[in-house]
A and B are shown apart, each in its own frame.
Chain A
Amino acid sequence: MQVIPVTAVHRGFGTTSRRDSWWVAPLGVFLGLSAFLGYATWAAFQNAHYHFGPYLSPFYSPELWGDSPHAWFGPKPGWWPALLPFSPALLILPFPGGFRFTCYYYRGAYYKAFWADPPSCAVGEPRKSYLGENSLPLIIQNIHRYFLYAAVAFLFMLSYDVWVAMWFDNAATGQKEFGIGVGTLVLLVNVILLTSYTLGCHSMRHLVGGRTDEVSKSPISDACYSCSSALNYKHQLFAWCSLFSVMFADVYVRLCSMGYWTDLRLL
């Protein structure tokens, strides 16, 4: 690099001249992500109360094998090891989980909140050695775009769930009839927020147009790049909104299934 090194000033963990409440944001991220991880893990292992009427919890969608009418391939397969706990959610959650874990926004947020690397801007760190994302293990974060491909596929499946959530059983005729319940809207809002988060992903923005220097040469690419950039501008907002919407959708379906909440039919 042909530079003469300079001496950096190393300071202790948490040392800073900042007077604002710099610790509030990382603490909020720590609590928010911990709450989500705790709830999602608990919900994924329940293997119960994940569907109600035409609704399917997004934590369990797509339900490859399971006991609900939404299951693609029927009940729990016979080859499933008896020692392993079974839940349809465990089969699919690694994909959206991996997408969020490797997301550029979340990376920056949890490096600060969980690893204090740094705790906040211009605040001293607890350790002097640093590898960044330059080598193992964090170099694996570069796999993000493959989780993006899976996340896009999930958007189609969750959208299909919203369609299914518009068809209710008519007890009198035994037929399906069109309708909209509060649960339908909960699932719809969840898909909209997840779509806004996924399509505004930095990797998506790169793949649809950012990788070229002359995006104007392809009008389709140009339009996609513009849309993705617009969503990317609010990526942090959509990251949090979609995180809580997917959790709330599961809570809604779960509490309806358990009989604590009554699903209001709007149409």
Chain B
Amino acid sequence: MSQATFSVWRSEPGGAGAFKDYTIEISDGMVVLDAVHKIQAEQAPDLACRWNCKAGKCGSCSAEINGKPRLMCMSRLNSIDLTQPVKVEPMRTFPLIKDLVTDVSWNFRVKKGLKKFKPRAADAADGTWRMQQRDIDRVQEFRKCIECFLCQDVCHVLRDHGKHEEFIGPRFFVYSAALEMHPLDTDDRVPDLKQKDNIGYCNITKCCTKVCPEHIHITDNAIIPLKERVVDRFYDPVTRLLRMIGG
């Protein structure tokens, strides 16, 4: 057994916070979430931490480990430099509740404001639809999202510029892309993407893609294709003319 030190953010609701060091015994196969649980069990029973599945599928244990937004349950200790204290802090883009727990409810309120799936009339008399696998494959990637909100956390438009009132963030561009590009969907989200969701704020730094634990190509496959649809509609005179002619 060897030891490692974790510098964990501690704070009380509404109060100031600070990093506090905890040294624990570690063993093979441990992840950061295991270490946090061990700290809770042995040294700080009041340490607040949100978690659920421990398998990288619930998206609950999002935090910043040595400054990088990551899932604690998917961050193996053998991939981290343990010669220095491992810094574990809450996501910086959302209001802090206590210790490592943040209030991510803003995301759910944003989602409520987005247009829902609106399929065309059923293709068959039995009320079912027909789609090509090729077409649905494209949006299937977006359905891997576990809503950990790490992409929202790292997005500098939200993180550094606090555009929460104007900008929906990468998670909801993925959500919008999943619906807008769906072969059955009939609703038009392009005007909202430009005017209400302000997709133009995204300057394609790809930070969201880099932190996604599900390896969704957020920028290349969701945001940029949506930006191109906005260009079609609002900035490209040729496609506007063709649309006027073709209806």
List residues of chain B with CB within 8 A of the CB of A233: 220
What is the CA–CA distance of A206 and B222 in the complex, to the nearest angstrom? 11
Chain A positions 117 through 145: 1 when the CB is less than 8 Å from some CB of chain B, otherwise 0: 11001101100111011110011001111
A118-B156, A206-B225 as given contacts; A1 in contact with B220, CB under 8 Å: no
CB neighbours (8 Å) of B165 from chain A are 1, 3, 5
Q: Mark B172-195, 1 if CB is under 8 A from A, else 0.
A: 000000001111010000000000
When distances are taken between beta carbons in the complex, the residues of chain A under 8 Å from B58 are none
A216–B205 contact, CB under 8 A?
Answer: no
User: Quick check: is B168 within 8 A (CB to CB) of the other chain?
Assistant: yes
| CB-based contact B220/A202 at 8 Å | yes
Known interface pairs A8-B158, A19-B84, A104-B204. Does A1 touch B132 (Cβ–Cβ under 8 Å)? Answer: no
Contacts known (A133-B202, A210-B225); A17 close to B160, Cβ less than 8 A: no
A residues in contact with B231, CB < 8 Å: 142, 144-145, 203
Interface window among A37-45, A107-115, A258-266:
A107-115
Whether B66 lies near A132 (C-beta < 8 A) is no
A173 CB-CB contact with B under 8 Å: no
Q: Which of B69-99 contact A (CB under 8 A)?
A: 69, 81, 84, 87, 89, 92-95
Which residues A191-249 have CB closer than 8 A to chain B? 202-203, 205-206, 210-211, 213-217, 222, 232-233, 235
Q: Are A132 and B201 in contact (CB under 8 A)?
A: yes
Q: Say whether A175 faces chain B, with CB atoms less than 8 Å apart.
A: no
Interface residues on B, range: 35 or more
Any A CB within 8 A of the CB of B5: no
Interface centre among B134, B204, B236 (most CB of A within 10 A): B204
CB nearest neighbor in B for A18: B67
Set of chain B residues within 8 Å of A202, measured between Cβ atoms: 220, 224-225, 228
Residue from A9, A132, A213, A214 in contact with B203 in the complex, judged by beta carbons closer than 8 Å: A132
- Known contacts A145-B231, A214-B135; A122/B69 CB under 8 A: yes
Q: Which residue of A lies closest to B160 (CB)?
A: A125
Q: Is the CB of A132 within 8 A of B109?
A: no
Query: Known contacts A125-B156, A202-B224: does B109 contact A4 (CB below 8 Å)?
Result: yes
Looking at the assembled complex, report how far the CB atom of A55 sits from the nearest CB atom of chain B, in whole angstroms.
36
Q: Nearest CB to that of A105 among chain B residues?
A: B204
Spell out B's residues near A (CB within 8 Å).
64, 66-69, 81, 84, 87, 89, 92-95, 103, 106, 109-110, 112-113, 132, 134-135, 138, 154, 156-166, 168, 180-183, 185, 196-198, 200-207, 210-211, 219-220, 224-225, 228-232, 235-236
Interface CB pairs A-B, < 8 A, 17 = A9-B159, A16-B67, A19-B67, A121-B210, A121-B211, A122-B207, A125-B160, A130-B163, A133-B200, A134-B198, A145-B228, A202-B224, A203-B231, A205-B225, A206-B229, A216-B132, A216-B134
Using a CB–CB distance below 8 Å, which chain A residues touch chain B?
Answer: 1-11, 16-20, 104-105, 107-108, 111-112, 117-118, 121-122, 124-125, 128-130, 132-135, 138-139, 142-145, 202-203, 205-206, 210-211, 213-217, 222, 232-233, 235
Question: What 3 pairs across the A-B complex have the smallest Cβ distances?
Answer: A17-B67, A134-B200, A8-B162
